Structure formats: C-alpha cells, structure tokens
Structure 1
Amino acid sequence: MGFLIRLLVSALAAMLTAYLLPGVKIDNFITALILALVLAVLNLLVKPILIILTLPATILTLGLFLLVINAIIILLAANLVKGFRVDGFFWALIFSIVMTVINSIMHGLASDN
C-alpha cells in the first residue's frame, strides 16, 4: 500500500511541477502516473549504474554531479513516456530539483508521524 501512495504523491508532484514550469508538459494525470512509475523503475535500475560509472566526477564536484544524473533520468523518462515532454537539459534539471522539493513536502504532509 505504501508504494501506491508514494506513486500517487509522485504523480501529483509531477503534475504540479509541470504546471509551474513552462518547459515541461504532462498531458493528463494518467500520464503523470505512468511517469511516476517509469521514474521509480529508472531510479531503481539505471541510476545506480550511472552513479557508479560517474563516481570520479561525483567526488570531484562534491556530489553536485548527481543533479546531472537526475536530469539525465528525467530526459530518459521523457523519451519513454508518451505525453510527457521536456524542452531540454536545463528544464530537466529544474524539473528534477522542483519535483524533489514538492515531493518531499507532500510526503511530509502525508506521513502518519
């Protein structure tokens, strides 16, 4: 049940982030749900591989390169999900930062603690 709630919260966060940013478009809530699921799978499977491959750059930039990895994951998701469009790397980077902040706030509000 927890995974489904996190998926719904992430879809809502993606919709809100797309509403706030002019360079990102999501067609409807079903697309946002699919996007949340695809992002979960990419973060589970692809992101650890990218982190290991780019470890020297991540250490050299004191972890800031992880933002670039997040943007790459967003661009990859944009290629996989029909109805989700990102206008470029800069918008993917901003989308990942804003969505993380909104997602954190919403998870904090939805938690039982």
Structure 2
Amino acid sequence: MNLILRIIVNALALAAAVWFLPGMEIAGSDAFAASLGDTGSTVVAYLVIGALFGVVNALVRPLVELVALPLTCLTLGLFAVVINALMLLLTAWASQFTPITLSFDGFLTALFAAIIVAIVSAVLGWVMPDRRAERSRED
C-alpha cells in the first residue's frame, strides 16, 4: 500500500510541476490516448511517469548522492536540488523508451521542477498518514 501511495504522491507532485512550468510536459502517444480516452490517458501517464521517477530515485539516487556527498556538504545541502533535477532529467531520458514521455526545455526548467516536486512531495507526505506509525501503535 505504501508503494501505491508513493507513486500517487510522485504523480501529483509532477502534475503540479507541469501545471506551473510551461517548459515541462508529460505526453503519451496518440494510440495510447485513443485507447484510454483523454482523462484516463492523462491519469495513467502521470502514474507511469511517477512510478518511473520512483524507480530512478530508488536505484540511481543513492549512488549519485554518495558520489556527490563532498559537494553537497560544501554547498550546505543546496546541491541536493541539483541532484533532484538530474533525477528528473534521467527520468525524462528513460521515458523516451516508453509510450509516455516526460520532457523539459532545459536544465533550468528541470531545476525549478525539482524544487516544486520536493515541496509538493513534502507537503503531501506530511498530510498523508504514516502507515508504519499506525502499525507500531497496534503492536
């Protein structure tokens, strides 16, 4: 259940970034849109990109953070925003191999998208109940 909530939070955060930034777009192929309808294809597109973003964050991000640790310490943590932007750009590159694509018009757009995604994810994570805390209270 936690995985599904994480995908939904990622999808909502990416949707907020797409809504705020004109240089960011999530689009599906015409055949994909025709098979699900307009609203259905949009929802599925955001969920797929949210899942892909989660996979990129789970597999690649720890290694990148480890390699960039000295730079992150030197910048007092501000380099983490650049790492988030790089993860979004990696997600956009990986989405080229799927029927649903994420695209940016430049690194600056990805940087602002990373800030928006981080803020929305933090707010949604704060609002949503923590399942681990509920399970520990039951024990």
Do they superpose with TM above 0.5? Answer: yes
- 5+ long unaligned stretches in structure 1: none
> Residue 15 of structure 1 contacts residue 29 of structure 1 at CA under 8 Å; is this kept in 2?
no
2:137 counterpart residue number: none
1:98 counterpart residue number: 116
* Structure of larger gyration radius: 2
What is the letter of the counterpart of residue 69 of structure 2? L
Moved over 4 A (4+): none
What is the letter of the counterpart of residue 33 of structure 1? L
Provide the TM-score with structure 2 as the length reference. Answer: 0.73
Report the Cα distance in structure 2 between the residues aligned to 1:23 and 1:29, rounded to whole angstroms: 20
Provide the TM-score with structure 1 as the length reference. Answer: 0.88
- 5+ long unaligned stretches in structure 2: 28-41, 135-139
Superposition CA RMSD, Å: 1.7
> Residue 56 of structure 2 contacts residue 87 of structure 2 at CA under 8 Å; is this kept in 1?
yes
1:7 counterpart residue number: 7
1:40 counterpart residue number: 54
Report the Cα distance in structure 2 between the residues aligned to 1:106 and 1:80, rounded to whole angstroms: 25
Name the CA shift for 1:108/1:58 in 2 (closer, same or farther; >3 Å). closer
Identity of aligned residues (%): 35
Does residue 54 in structure 1 map to residue 68 in structure 2? yes
> Residue 24 of structure 1 contacts residue 87 of structure 1 at CA under 8 Å; is this kept in 2?
yes
How many residues are treated as equivalent by the alignment?
Answer: 113
* Equivalent position to 1:86, from 104, 108, 124: 104
